[in-house]
Amino acid sequence: MGKLRVFISSTMKDLANERLAIERQLRQFNFEPVNAEGWLPDGKKSWERIEKELRSSDVFVLVVGERYGWIPDKGPKSGLERSVTHLEVEEARTLDLPILPFLKELSYETDSSSDEAKRRDAFRKEIASWDTGGSIANFNDVFDLADKVGEAVIGLITDEFQNNRIRLRAPAVSTATVALADESTQKVPAALPTLPPRLVGSVAKKNAVLFAGSGVSLAAGLPSAAFFAQTLIQNARKSFPGYEANPVGSAFAGIATDVEGLAAKRPGLVETVVNLLRPPQGLEPTPAHIGAVDLFDQIVTTNYDTLFEQADQLHGNVRSIISDEIGGDSLPDRVIVNLHGSASQPESLVLTERDVLMLDKTRPRLWRTVMDLLRRKLVVVVGTSLRDPSVVRLFTEAGPTVSGYFVVPEFWDTTVARVRAWNLECIRSDAASFFSALS
């Protein structure tokens, strides 16, 4: 279905920094902010665009500051004497979009006597009187707002009722999003990367193994690691309001360890993570997943999701799926190895620091067979930073016989030097373009 689309509604000039802060927070969570900075108030065309964007959105974030906003004097809705922001809110409520409202604290110097100010105050009073099913938050500055928007979106998605609202609208949102994309000016396709003959030949001869990370699944709409981590932090704060994540070590694994010990215990921790792997807008394999299963017989992934397996099923393929310890000393010729476990097998998930550090001890046969695979075949790394402690250890223990390519959208000299220790050469490309070029 794609990324969760969040419509940002506010006046423009007075809240430009606030809108930017929200956008950055949403992108950090791998959500798609929908904002109207580029849409000029030109009457009919503007409102038609806004309606289409609203229909293609999953969530509505409203920010109200010192201004009421521009009131259309021609075109659709011009006779209602409503600002564009007010009109957007009314349309969102008609569409039954979950609305997250935020009101900026106004100083005592703020105008309260002009017609604009009176309209603004009436609008704020209307918002404050809503039965939203959640809190209406006040904020002081952009940093305060960004944090509160992040917390509110997490609360929305983890709330069963609100989650179901988004899920029920998902098919209509998907249709509207596709229609909107079809109407938009077509972008010039990105140039495909030029691939080394050695790589192409090895893949063609089935002498290559794909090592894939979460970057491949982010394009499908899976929330980011930052979203997972922040959700666990909020869970911990329910029992310990002052909880702060320790910045040392593997961030997610450290937070998961704390949550397991502080409040949720193992079953609660696993349940939280599994639920987050089922985003309310839906999750479907991307062209990158489909390209991967077509090109590679053996795939090793650190992802918890099942998108590679789903892509395999879409093409009618049958291969072994391994998400935990194995009984033998070799891997099947056609296999997907979920090195850190799978949502389809929740007890297999590698979450805490101990899970990560002891992986070779808890699953010794799987560890050895994956290491042997990396030594025997050309390794193609896509969608991972290769910084996870268990991955660093795996590649380091596999030794100098590892050889292959590290596919990454952007890299620096430090990246080249770091992966050179594993005999990996860098290829600058995103996952979709890489698999398209390889195909």
Over range 272-277, report the average pLDDT: 95
- pLDDT reported for residue 44: 47
Report the pLDDT averaged over residues 254-279.
90
17: alpha, beta or left, given left = phi > 0 and alpha = psi -120 to 50?
alpha
- pLDDT, tens digit, 9 for 90 and up, residues 364-422: 999 999 999 999 999 999 999 999 999 999 999 998 999 999 999 999 999 999 999 99
Per-residue pLDDT averaged across 412-433, rounded?
A: 94
Average model confidence (pLDDT) across the chain: 91
Predicted confidence at residue 250, as pLDDT, reads: 61
pLDDT tens by residue, 280-299? 999 999 999 999 999 999 99
Query: What structural domains and CATH numbers belong to the chain?
Result: 5-175 (3.40.50.10140), 197-221+284-438 (3.40.50.1220), 225-276 (no CATH)
- What is the per-residue pLDDT for 341? 98
Encode pLDDT of 127-182 as tens digits. 988 865 456 899 999 999 999 999 999 999 999 999 999 999 999 999 998 888 77
For residues 89 and 93, what is the distance between their CA atoms, to the nearest angstrom?
A: 6
Token pair listed for 183: 């109407």
Tell me what pLDDT residue 49 has. 86
Higher pLDDT, 350 or 12: 350
Judged against a pLDDT cut of 60, whether residue 186 lies above it is answered with: no
Lowest-pLDDT choice from 119-123, 211-215, 238-242? 238-242
Instruction: Please give the Cα distance from 259 to 233 (Å, whole number).
Output: 8
Question: Taking the alpha carbons of 190, 293, 375, 212 in that order, is the dihedral positive or negative?
Answer: positive
- Give pLDDT, residue 248: 57
Burial of 121 (0-12, 13-18, 19+ CB in 10 A): middle
Evaluate the CA torsion angle 45, 51, 56, 59 in order and state its sign: positive
pLDDT of residue 251: 80
Res. 16 pLDDT band, cuts 50 70 90: very high
| pLDDT of 43 above 50 | no
* pLDDT (tens digit per residue) in 237-255: 888 888 888 765 568 999 9
Give pTM, 2 decimals.
Answer: 0.91
Q: Does residue 351 sit in helix, strand or coil?
A: coil
Mean pLDDT of 94-115: 93
Residue 263's pLDDT is what?
63
Average pLDDT over residues 250-264: 84
Which distant-in-sequence residues (6+ apart) come within 8 Å of 89 by Cβ?
Answer: 9, 60, 62, 99, 127
Structure-model confidence comparison of residues 330 and 132, the more confident one: 330
Token pair 């996952």 in the structure block, residue: 431
Please provide the distance, in angstroms rounded to a whole number, between the alpha carbons at the two ends of the chain: 24
